Amino acid sequence: MANDVTAAEARLGPVVEIASGKVQGTIANGIHALKGIPYGASTAGHNRFRAPQPALGWSGVRAATGFAGRAWQLPNRPARRAVLETLLGPADTTAETEDCLTLNLWTPGLGDGGKRPVMVWLHGGAFAYGSANRAVTDGANLARRGDVVVVAVNHRLNILGFLHLDDIGGGRWMHASNAGILDIVAALQWVRDNIAAFGGDPGNVTVFGESGGGGKVSVLLAMPAAKGLFHRAIIQSGAAIRVSTRERANALAEAALRALGLRDDECARLQELPPAQIVAAIAPAACAVGRSQWPLLDRYDFGPVVDGADLPQHPCHPGAPETARAVPVMVGGTREESAFFLADDDRVWNGLLTETELRERVAAVAGPETEALLAVYRAAMPQARPADRLVAALTGSNFWIRSVILAERYAARRHAAVWMYSLDWQSPAHDGRVKAHHAMDLPFVFDNTEVADTTAGAPGARELAARIADTWIGFARHGRPDNPALPAWPAYTPDERATMVFDHQCSVVRDPGRDARLLWTRVVTS
């Protein structure tokens, strides 16, 4: 089921009037697509490091037929192994811009009085890079399959979205710490105010995101300003337990100012510098400050800050926030998340890692629990190579344990239910080396398996995509993920720890990897 449509197949759709003006997108195969709709003003100049400002209105009909630009990206990211560049389909090549407060929307109906569930997608990229303009997360197939409205949001990232200036420069900068998340709140307000015109129900909104997008969902659950703007939440491979404290955020901001040659009383000059110069200060600032005190839980240098106002507490530390009590949550990840990141390591990619190297790599994160963890993974994977056990161990430390902690702490609130899952289907791409890798869920959730190399043409991929997409749709519609395509799926509890395993055959497993869970919990919370 391809979602790419040629210009000849797509035609202009009806004109839709929203609060800012009239917009017109395209229609193809029964789905209306409207792209690049502004939900806020440009964040350049005087608006830089401020809370998002309302979108400027326009006269006439605004074309919403193509993606607008993406936010400024983290510079100098390491290049991927060449054969992996299209593992998740083509990259977004739109321009980087501060006029990035835009959203893309796919719907089966315009102005038809429909009250469809609304699914708001938050892209990955560790709060530092990424965009809502990727082909693999095109929402047309998901909207068509579920009769839902899909919205994907672009917003500020990295230092331009999360620079804590309040303590340095004063109240003028009070929202700079969390500007990128406040952008998402503004997008959700846009959905509340405008989505009915696109056949959506503002009273039934689900936020869902993968990797850094899952972190964004986690943070939104703890933000008073977001309360009531969404009603269900899905966290994919990105559960956030802690984010930055004021102390660490202050140190990063001070270091960034020094890297830019600015004094503390010159914060206003930040609004005059070229954005490329500001993002270039990320690396030297992070290097000067060093790692977080909680490196396995607080993973973002320039990311959300517990500032006591916009974000009063950590997303899930010490427990679930009161603002999230009424929101059902689905959380999980892929079985071998770290295969995605370790694929660029020749020793791992070629299966050459030795037992000694495995011990050294695990010890770097596990400390005194190293030998116990090595024994657990050896017992669970007796025939596996050291490289495969490293993938499993770093998946446990970097991803899986955060999902488990969030699930158990949310389940303990005894109000809205929590469901947990694991995507265990392994990609055959590249001779199976990438396994059930990080972000492999994207083509399944969006029913775009032919877009990504990891799933294109793979046996069983389309059938599993149908199950997974229907599960996400069902959760958005009813607040429960169980559906006829799956076996009975109990809610997660700290006692039973029921986990749905998505594979060629789907099944519920109780407390998977118990011994590793207990050890990693000690490591990350000590």
Give me the catalytic one of 32, 131, 438, 450: 438
Q: Is 211 known to be catalytic?
A: yes
As a whole number of angstroms, the distance between CA 330 and CA 160 comes to 30
**Secondary structure of residue 37 in the 3-state scheme:** strand
How many Cβ atoms are within 10 Å of 355's Cβ, its own excluded?
12
Rounded Cα distance, 372 and 175, in Å: 44
Q: State the catalytic residue, choosing from 131, 177, 211, 397.
A: 211
Token code pair at residue 481: 């993920």
Of the residues 336, 337, 408, 450, only one is catalytic, namely 337
Interior/surface letters 278-296, b for 16+ CB within 10 angstroms, e for the rest: bbbbbeebbeebeebebeb
Q: 438 an active-site residue? A: yes
CA 275 to chain centre: 24
Q: What is the 8-class DSSP label of residue 265?
A: G
d(CA 183, CA 132): 14
Q: Are strands 329-334 and 232-236 parallel, antiparallel or unpaired?
A: parallel
SS3 at position 522? helix
Q: Of 438, 427, 423, 432, nearest to 351 (Cα)?
A: 432
The tokens for 410 are 């949310």
Instruction: Read off the amino acid at residue 123.
Output: H
Q: Which residues pair with 332 in a beta bridge?
A: 236, 421
β strands within 57-97, DSSP E: 61-63
* 504 catalytic residue (yes or no): no
Amino acid at 171: G
- Which of 139, 156, 154, 147 minimizes the C-alpha distance to 25? 139
Amino acid at 21: G
Interatomic CA distance for residues 303 and 435, integer angstroms: 29
- Residue at token pair 């919990």: 521
Work out whether strand 11-18 and strand 21-28 pair parallel, antiparallel, or are unpaired. antiparallel
Distance CA 406, CA 235 (A): 10
- The Cα–Cα gap between 222 and 414 comes to 17
Q: Write b or e for each residue in 148-177: b if 16 or more Cβ atoms lie within 10 A of its Cβ, otherwise e.
A: bbbbbbbbbbbbbbbbbbbbbbeeebbbbb
Alpha carbons 143 and 298: distance in angstroms, whole number = 34
Residue 421 main-chain phi, psi, to 5 deg? -140, 165
The Cα 313–Cα 498 span in angstroms is: 28
Extract the tokens encoding 418. Answer: 């929590």
Q: Which residue has the tokens 């059938």?
A: 463
Residue positions annotated with a catalytic role: 211, 337, 438
